[in-house]
Amino acid sequence: MPIRFVIPTCLLSCLLCLGLAQADTPELTIERIFDSPDLSGPTLREARLSPAGERVTFLRARDEDRSTLDLWEYHIDDDETRLLVAADEVVEDEGELSAEERARRERARIADLRGIVEYRWSDDGRFLLFPLAGDIYVLDMAAEEREVRQVTDSEDFDTDPQIAPDGEHVAFVRNRNLWIARIDDGSETALTTDGDEVISNGMAEFIAQEEMGRSTGFWWSPASNSIAFLRVDESPIDITLRYEIEAGTITMIEQRYPYTGTPNVTYRLGVVDIDSGETEWIDLGEEEDIYVPRVDWLPGGEQLSFQRQSRNQQTLELLLATPGEGEPEVLLTETEETWINLHDDLHFLANMPAFIWSSERSGYRHLYLYGLDGALIRPLTAGNWAVDALEGVDEELGMVYFTAAEVSPREKHLYRQSMVTSSPEIVSRISRRSGWHEVSMDRQARVYVNTYSSTEQPPQLGLHSADGERIAWLVENRVTGDHPYASFSEGHRPTEFGTLTGPDGQALDYRLIRPADFDADRRYPVFMHIYGGPTHRLVTDSWSRRILIDQYMARQGYVVFSLDNRGIERQGKAFQDAAYLKLGQIEMIDQMIGLDWLRSQDFIDPERIGIFGWSYGGYVALMALAQYPGEFAAGVAVAPVTDWALYDTHYTERYMGTPQDQPEAYEKGNVLTYADRIEDRLLLIHPMADDNVLFTHSTLLMQELQEKVIPFDLMTYPGEKHAIAGEPQRVHVYKTITEFLDRELEP
């Protein structure tokens, strides 16, 4: 006889309502995080004010394709946002990128983007210049129909186009030579001709792009009659073989990779006259084993500055050269017993013989005003907090604008200071909303574009006057209505910030996200998301795709935790210097303080803590498993460094010296030194065409673990570079990670 259940009508109604509510609240998935439209809202890049200040231009991704960018504008007087150039209306099929362009985009972390990925204004505001499919185009803003004009049309790939200040020529790199083309008729001239497999002219070398923050190798003079450029000779670097493994092929790449402790490139700095084609070479000094990280023209265009950095990066000189007048003059010299961090905080004043410069000599990065004779006039800022960047200078009103970590290393804000201040420690904060403010000011420093975000708010783009008052929203990006994240926002978990005390008493910042439906009486597994490297903080009140991954993990039942260890930027030079000659050591001490704190919390299951990191974070994850066996239930390392002897000169020697001079530091910083101690579950992931952290890092570890009969899980990605930027591959890698952790930690 069948059993019948009778459900009361009221209960049935409640169940139906609950079902409808759940149906209306979609599940946040890895697939949706990487799908279009972007959950963060419009993808906005390179927001800039036009020279006349009447509009703001920016790159914006399409709703239906988050990887393709078009050029947009916001017109201030009209209060309208509109599309200027759609990439596919200019070129239907972009085709394949050149090898050098692919590498350049990988260095710029835009390898997953297509369409218009960069642009520049001409100084007079008439032209917007952009490269597309290997050719160069300009949008004539003065034409009634806003026509797009093709400047170059070559079978070769033209990269790094820069328009002359007078708007008549565009300079670019083709086949490792420096070229110019007239904008009106497209006529071309090669300014250098000796570019080959070892010589490049005007092109930023690998080290400059990857480690020095310099993406170009040439600079127009203010008068538009000459161009300063670097001639880079890679012949001192030995050819090494690197394998790029695709799904069905293996390509053997001959690469001049500058391994730490081996020879570097050599430089020549030239100034070429665009009419005569004649080049005058600037004296860089007797020592050839140097870096040239920055080159800048002075406002008059008759003098040129360049920075000369010693190979050990403990000395940085700012020099002033007058072409045709002999040996350059050293304006100032910075020295450190550890290393000197490079910056872009150099501004030569037009109305007085002086310049603004930043230095960490006080223990924190601050701004200083110098005369052109190299004498210090006055400090402009001071205090136990760090300046991030000089953002603008208003010479007429005598004000400087800068971003800084004055509130907290977790936040970035905009400030101003008088150039005649007698109280450098007293600065005026302009931005008010707690979170992260990325600023781009106009040339007069009267208005600025602010990209604001926090852990609760995806990036918003606003136009502000110099006093901070918002003039207009360009993209308000409120998470309401039809915003892509609106349907997921109800389940968004708040981020908690706090500090722990490090071994030497310094504050270690952390962030924590509690899982969905948190119950203080339960014990939860931990997703310990780390980076740890000197150049990047994780614990910031800002929005990124990383936030969505962490939100996903919290919704799956994990406590998400990140801690910024000593050695990381924005907390003072002493905080960073603790990592000198101790990579792989100092991070472990601090991360274990975080682990001990987690275990002391009643809501944490101490037996279910997993650690995850990518790149440097992958290195830290491996070191955690190897140096502290049994402390973690599982670890995931993606594209990790394992042996610093396999990494490049500029990055590695900055923190570790050379293997010849500091063998003990390299031994203690090598994952393979401790690999035989790994006993916790490990998932190792590496892209098989990585030209940054070479695949060799992981193959060495694979062999070591196999020889010691230590089991581990492995996933490799044929054809992928360091970022694993392919859309399906990026989904696959995170699904692999989460499925591994779910299996090992059982959330």
Return the structure tokens found at 289: 């084993």
Buried b (16+ CB within 10 A) or exposed e, 26-35: eebebebbbe
Amino acid, res. 127:
F
Contact 410, 424 (CB under 8 A): no
> Tokens 């092109």 identify what position?
203
Residues facing residue 529 across a β-bridge: 612
Tell me if residue 722 is catalytic: yes
> Tokens 């918002």 identify what position?
470
Cβ contacts of residue 123 below 8 Å, gap of 6+? 51, 163, 165, 166, 167
Secondary structure E strands in 531-656: 559-563, 604-614, 634-638
> Tokens 């970022």 identify what position?
723
Sign of CA dihedral 432, 433, 436, 442: negative
Q: Which of 690, 691, 697, 698 is catalytic?
A: 690
How many of the other CB atoms lie within 10 Å of CB of 324? Answer: 8
Q: Which of 492, 650, 686, 722 is catalytic?
A: 722
Round to whole Å and give the CA distance between 738 and 735: 5
Residues facing residue 300 across a β-bridge: none
Q: Which of 221, 408, 615, 698 is catalytic?
A: 615
Round to whole Å and give the CA distance between 272 and 218: 10
Return the structure tokens found at 420: 């005649």
Tell me if residue 713 is catalytic: no
Radius of gyration from C-alpha coordinates of the chain: 27
Helix (H) or strand (E) holding 686: strand 681-687
Amino acid, res. 12:
L
Q: In what order do the strands lie in the sheet with 366-371?
A: 346-348, 354-359, 366-371, 376-379
Tell me if residue 615 is catalytic: yes
Contact 458, 422 (CB under 8 A): no
List the one residue out of 362, 567, 398, 541 whose CA is nearest residue 456. Answer: 541
Degrees to nearest 5, angle at CA 239 with 235 and 240: 155
**3 state DSSP class of 630:** coil
CA torsion angle for 651, 655, 659, 661 (degrees, to 10)?
130
How many of the other CB atoms lie within 10 Å of CB of 707? Answer: 10
Cβ contacts of residue 519 below 8 Å, gap of 6+? 603
Which residues are designated catalytic?
615, 690, 722
